[in-house]
Homo-oligomer: A and B are copies of this chain.
Amino acid sequence: MSILVVGSVAFDSLKTPFGEKERILGGSATYFSVAASFFTDVRVVAVVGDDFGPEDEAVFRERDVDISDLERVKGQRSFFWKGEYGYDLNVAHTLDTQLNVFADFKPKLSNAARETPYLFLGNIQPQLQAEVREQVRARLVAADTMNYWIESTPEQLSDMLKRIDILIINDSEARALAGEANRVRAARRILSMGPSRLVVKRGEYGAAMFSEESFFATPAYPLEEVFDPTGAGDSFAGGFMGYLAATNATDDGALRRAIIYGSVMASFNVEEFGCERLRRLTYEEINARFKQLRAFSHFEESEMPRRLKK
Contact = CB atoms under 8 A, between A and B. Distances in A.
Contacts of A105: none
Interface in A100-137: none
Contacts of A182: 223-226
Interface in A196-248: 202, 204-206, 208, 215-219, 222-226, 243, 246-247
Given A64-B309, A184-B223, A224-B184, A39 B301 contact: no
Interface stretch (A45-53, A74-82, A252-260): A252-260
Contacts of A253: 299-300
A256 B184 contact: no
Contacts of A304: 38-39, 243, 261, 283, 286-287, 290
Given A183-B204, A219-B208, A305-B243, A299 B256 contact: yes
Question: What is the count of identical protomers in the complex?
Answer: 2
A304 B253 CA distance: 14
A38 to B, nearest CB: 6
Contacts of A87: 181
A294 interface: yes
A296 B257 contact: no
A152 interface: no
Contacts of A183: 204, 222
Contacts of A287: 303-304
Nearest to A252: B299
A291 interface: yes
A308 to B, nearest CB: 10
Given A208-B219, A219-B217, A287-B304, A299 B257 contact: yes
B88 A181 contact: yes
B306 A260 contact: no
Contacts of A89: 181
Nearest to A298: B298
A21 interface: no
A82 to B, nearest CB: 23
Contact of A39 (B226, B286, B291, B307): B307
A269 interface: no
Smallest CB-CB A-B distances: 8 pairs: A217-B219, A246-B305, A256-B299, A205-B205, A184-B222, A184-B224, A257-B302, A87-B181
Given A286-B304, A298-B298, 20 more contacts: A39-B305, A40-B305, A87-B181, A183-B222, A184-B223, A184-B224, A216-B296, A217-B297, A218-B219, A219-B219, A253-B299, A253-B300, A256-B299, A257-B299, A259-B299, A261-B304, A287-B304, A290-B302, A294-B299, A297-B297
Interface of A: 37-41, 64, 87-89, 181-185, 188, 202, 204-206, 208, 215-219, 222-226, 243, 246-247, 253, 256-257, 259-261, 283, 286-287, 290-291, 294, 296-307, 309-310
